[in-house]
Amino acid sequence: MEIGANGQEVSLREWIRRKEFVGFSDQDVENLRGLKPIAERYADEVLDQLYEHFMRFEETRKFFLDESRLTRVKSLQRAYFLGLTAGDYGEEYLASRLHIGRVHQRIGLEPRWYLGAYYIYMRLVYPRILEAMKGDPERAHQTILSLLKLFTLDQELATTTYAVAREEVINVQAEEILAISTPVVEIWDGVLAVPLIGTLDTQRAKMFMEHLLEGVVQRQSEIALVDITAVPTMDTRTAQHLIEAIGAVRLLGAQLVLTGVKPAIAQTLVHLGLDLSGVVTRSSLSSGLRYALGRLGVEVVKKDISHRARA
């Protein structure tokens, strides 16, 4: 799907392509323009019956319980209905239809009810077209086909807005999960701890690197402890991400210490042929912290509190 230059869900070029796909031609435009007097004559009648149908179902009725809101929505729906026969189906039409889809998505109207409403429209409009054009059944048939094409295009636009909105929510949630999965914690002045959980794919590695480097700069840290205790396996890609992180931290004048290095992972790193000769590794986060404090000149003395317990 091609995003429009103004950020809308469908570009004008794609809209034109969609119309070509369903065979929406200049003749269809003329057919719909010819429908305008009929639409104006029956607009209020069609809309009254449409909303009577909506009010019979709890899933749609709940959106129109407020009388003033119902009046406002019916007015907007009237503009939509008459817009079907305006004869202009270019950029402005595209923007208005996408806006309608976004509004319905935002208020929580599910696609099954929104898309189902198009059938109700068809059921109400088609008999009136046949009646108004009963002297020319072929014209009536072609006009109905033209309207069906436009309804189909409108449904596609509505579906697109729902899909894009849902994808945006999923992306935001994924970013939040990534942020949670790569926490950067200052555990001592000048010492950061970054526990890694699971394998590092490209997206997680990017987030890990950003958070790590931001943490080093913002807190002016001298040592970053990257703990891989919860990393189940070490493949070439994950190891390479760690090597890149070590180099980036060095460029900032800090040191990265790899902690939680299990024997199996150490062997894997050797088999992968990665040079860790200049990298400080420790078997646990606590031993890494002891190393970091020693580098900072901090002496940790264990107090004997047994006499307090006896007292």
**Structural domain boundaries in the chain:** 12-178, 185-295
Distance in angstroms (rounded) separating the CA atoms of residues 120 and 101: 17
Instruction: Centre a 10 Å sphere on the Cβ of residue 216 and count the other Cβ atoms it contains.
Output: 23
- Please name the residue that has the structure tokens 């869900």: 9
Sites in the chain below the pLDDT cut of 50:
1, 3-6
In this prediction, residue 180 carries a pLDDT of 59
Q: What tokens does 248 get?
A: 């980036």
Global pTM value: 0.62
Q: Which fold has domain 12-178?
A: Globin-like (1.10.490)
pLDDT at position 104 is 84
pLDDT at 302: 75
Q: Tell me, what's the pLDDT at 5?
A: 45
- Using CB atoms within 10 Å of the CB of residue 89, give its burial: 0 to 12 exposed, 13 to 18 middle, 19+ buried: buried
- What dotted CATH number matches 185-295? 3.30.750.24
In tens, the pLDDT along 87-137 reads: 999 999 999 989 888 888 888 888 899 889 999 999 999 999 999 999 999
pLDDT of residue 265: 81
Closest CA to 196 of 156, 148, 250, 239: 239
In angstroms, the CA 20 to CA 162 distance is 23
* Amino acid 7: pLDDT: 58
